[in-house]
Structure 1
Amino acid sequence: MERPKHRAAIIGTGGIAHRHAQALADLGDRAELVAVAEIDPDRAAAFAEEHSVANVYGSAEELLANERLDLVHVCTPPKTHAPLAIAAMKAGVPVLVEKPTALSLSEMDAMAAVQEETGVPTLTVFQHRYGSAAVRLRRLIQAGVLGRPLVAVCETLWYRDDAYFAVPWRGSWEAEGGGPTMGHGIHQFDLLLSVLGPWAEIRAAAGRLSRPTDTEDVSMALARFADGTLATVVNSVVSPRETSRLRFDFEHATVEVEHLYGYSDEHWRFTPAPGHERLADLWVNDADAPPSGHRLQIEAILDAFDAGTEPGVSLADARRTLEFAAATYASAFRGRPVLAGEIAGQDPFTRGMDGGAVPWAPSLKTLLEKDVNA
């Protein structure tokens, strides 16, 4: 049976939008990029010409009102993610949002309420879940052949210089939601969570050590998972030798990956424990497997649409990852452990990742003194 060609549109034409457009093009007859919305007319025209997009709109509202769409991709700065996703759901269009899905848990809950009301899904770009090696690892865990997970290490050690933060929305709690915990390491610890499942407790530290930001530039967390697994999670934008690393130590094997912005099977290593050498036969790298990236996740979404099943990554899944980030900040700034589910209701960390408790932020007294002396 011939599968339908899905009509897609992109809102926002910054750097990440080009990856979405290329992914849609790589899917050939599965999808067609029919429209784009961008407030900058020159940038919109250049993007449309580069990717052969027929229809260009100056606003998301105009696009949603005039196009029949199967999926809309939100590729705008983080502050706009939740409002645009809500607008798309109310227009009846499934939406794929770049990370982070929202700037706070309360925004996530507002989105979930609209999703419940409309029956239209919002999905989040966490493409590293879809690489073939990650899929293989989860399959082996489900089969029980690796034994219990015991220890994990998750490191996003990246480098962003001061000029990177000259873009107005970067490094701001209000516009970006946080530093590398929200904007960089979130991909790696989302993959960690997709492998290990629910987390139970976080003890964390964070600091603004070098960069000209309001947010942190380094955070570290020690996480205990529901099954007892212990994991360390490090997020940094001050590390000159960049790497992204995940390591899982199971009873019967160690499975690890080291890459930068996307992995292939060749980046993974499998080490069986003594006495379990035959497990290596279950880990066979696929040299032809495409690298983890937007194409694999978008293809999986379209497959789910065609099959009538639930596509990923759902709002519920994405909320668990965002709660991990919120708990990292809450633990770091309050100086105590934070339990899963603890950040709820009127807790300041539900309304913003800074929780009004950033230790290096200027105090109200300092701000008033500056106003008086100005």
Structure 2
Amino acid sequence: MINVAVIGTGAIAPSHINAYQAFSDKCQITALCDVYSEKAEKVKGDFKLTAAIAKDYKELLNRTDIDLVSICTPPYTHAEIAVDFLNAGKHVLVEKPMASSLKECDVMNEAAERNGKTLSVVAQNRFRNSMMKLKHVLDTKLMGPIVHTQVDSFWWRGHSYYDLWWRGTWEKEGGGCTLNHAVHHIDIFQWMNGMPSEITAVTSNVAHDNAEVEDLSIAIGRYSNGSLAQITSSAVHHGEEQQLTFQGENARVSTPWKLKASKSKENGFPEEDYELEEKIQHVYDKQPDVKYEGHAGQVYDVLTAIEANKEVLIDGVQGRKTLEIIMAIYESATLGKTVKLPLNEESAFYTRESILKNAKHFYEKKNTIDNFGENTITT
């Protein structure tokens, strides 16, 4: 039986708790921690847990009845908490984004390797049937080389969203919609298409004058073979229509699932390639469904990895790659230049200190509240 502690009992914590409770034969939640102990007590009651309550996570470091921790706290706290628990011999599942800087990612990965413990970064959308099927289709190379990718991470958040005390600041949240909303789509993008060789980007804040950070960014990624990728991150798009589209030389596929294949007429104009469409659709349909979706899928992956001493699907190295693209977007937009990948210690956005020094403040945060009365997440 794997004993679990959940650090932070805010809006995302129920997703973790529900996932763990789905595998009561493998794990049990033995501790909850939150700086607002009343929140932890409410969560304990809501989920009928027998867990101990702590106000400071350090109270839990030396407890022998904890094997795995879920870190559900604001991003600027992730690195310190994760490293402390890894050094204490615990496995760690940390919410997205992995950390506030690439240096913090490197420190976390070093701690995981040195202690021989699992470090997994939440990217629950990989554990969706549609995503696994799309990844399988891309891996077959039936589409031919990818020539263009479009990532539309469209979200909408009201003005009051950034009133929460830690949101909307570079120091506490670490960035805006590019980091905290588009992180899921950017993770899927780099998992399916690999890392671009350079990024050119612009950012703006068009609707949230109570936040320092961006609420809209547009980036172009270039690959060494000339392929281009467009990445739009937004917290201002009504309807929140989201998609990832991959255009190959032979066909286009996307999620939500859409398929179109073309072949050339003698004069170069297109006609539909029904034979290729049928082959690709067959591959998509025959790919088996994942056993568990979303957070449950990732928690199952982590639990089975711990039991079998094997690798997780999304480790700290994968988590760092996603943050590297995001930091390249920020660096390019801030400095007004194309940024080459990979980023190293010379990057103006490698450390938390350099980010705070260089990041553009669109506005200064005006309102601050401790908690919202109603704090459910809609997706």
TM-score range, shorter chain: 0.7 to 0.9
Task: Report Cα offsets for 1:64-114 as digits up to 9, x if no partner.
Answer: 222423321000111111110011101111100101111011111222222
- TM score, norm. by length of structure 1: 0.87
Match status 1:351 vs 2:351: yes
- SS for the counterpart of 2:202 is strand
- Aligned equivalent of 1:236: 234
Match status 1:27 vs 2:18: no
Match status 1:12 vs 2:8: yes
CA contact (8 A) 1:124 1:312 kept: no
- Aligned equivalent of 1:109: 106
Tell me how far apart the structure 2 counterparts of residues 282 and 23 of structure 1 sit (CA, whole Å): 30
CA contact (8 A) 2:171 2:356 kept: no
Residues 98-247 of structure 1 aligned to structure 2 (within 5 Å):
98-211=95-208, 212-247=210-245
CA contact (8 A) 2:259 2:277 kept: no
For 2:35, give the aligned amino acid.
I
Cα distance 1:346–1:254, how it changes in 2: closer, same or farther (>3 A)?
closer
Residue 199 of structure 1: CA displacement? Answer: 1.6
CA contact (8 A) 2:211 2:362 kept: no
For 1:237, give the aligned amino acid.
A
What is the Cα-based RMSD across aligned positions, in Å?
2.2
Match status 1:330 vs 2:331: yes
Residue 326 of structure 1: CA displacement? Answer: 0.5
Corresponding residue to 1:57 among 27, 49, 54: 54
Q: Percent same amino acid among aligned pairs?
A: 30
Unmatched runs of 5 consecutive residues or more in structure 1: 259-267, 364-374
Residue 17 of structure 1: CA displacement? Answer: 0.2
Residue 159 of structure 1: CA displacement? Answer: 1.0
- Aligned equivalent of 1:302: 303
Residue 10 of structure 1: CA displacement? Answer: 0.4
- SS for the counterpart of 1:216 is coil
Tell me how far apart the structure 2 counterparts of residues 294 and 227 of structure 1 sit (CA, whole Å): 35
For 2:184, give the aligned amino acid.
H
Number of aligned residue pairs: 349
Task: Report Cα offsets for 1:303-352 as digits up to 9, x if no partner.
Answer: 222332111311111111101001001111111111112x3224331113
Residue 190 of structure 1: CA displacement? Answer: 0.6
Tell me how far apart the structure 1 counterparts of residues 299 and 321 of structure 2 sit (CA, whole Å): 21
Tell me how far apart the structure 2 counterparts of residues 245 and 317 of structure 1 sit (CA, whole Å): 21
Task: Report Cα offsets for 1:206-259 as digits up to 9, x if no partner.
Answer: 01222021111111100113454311000111122212211111233322124x
CA contact (8 A) 1:156 1:234 kept: yes
- SS for the counterpart of 1:209 is coil
Tell me how far apart the structure 2 counterparts of residues 359 and 45 of structure 1 sit (CA, whole Å): 39
- The 4+ residue runs of structure 1 with deviation greater than 6 A are 285-288
For 2:250, give the aligned amino acid.
H
- SS for the counterpart of 1:53 is coil
Residue 145 of structure 1: CA displacement? Answer: 2.6
- TM score, norm. by length of structure 2: 0.86
Task: Report Cα offsets for 1:97-147 as digits up to 9, x if no partner.
Answer: 101111011111222222232222321101111212222222233333332
Residue 52 of structure 1: CA displacement? Answer: 2.4
Cα distance 1:285–1:154, how it changes in 2: closer, same or farther (>3 A)?
farther
Cα distance 1:285–1:206, how it changes in 2: closer, same or farther (>3 A)?
farther
Tell me how far apart the structure 1 counterparts of residues 248 and 55 of structure 2 sit (CA, whole Å): 51
Match status 1:254 vs 2:259: no
- SS for the counterpart of 1:147 is coil
For 2:212, give the aligned amino acid.
D
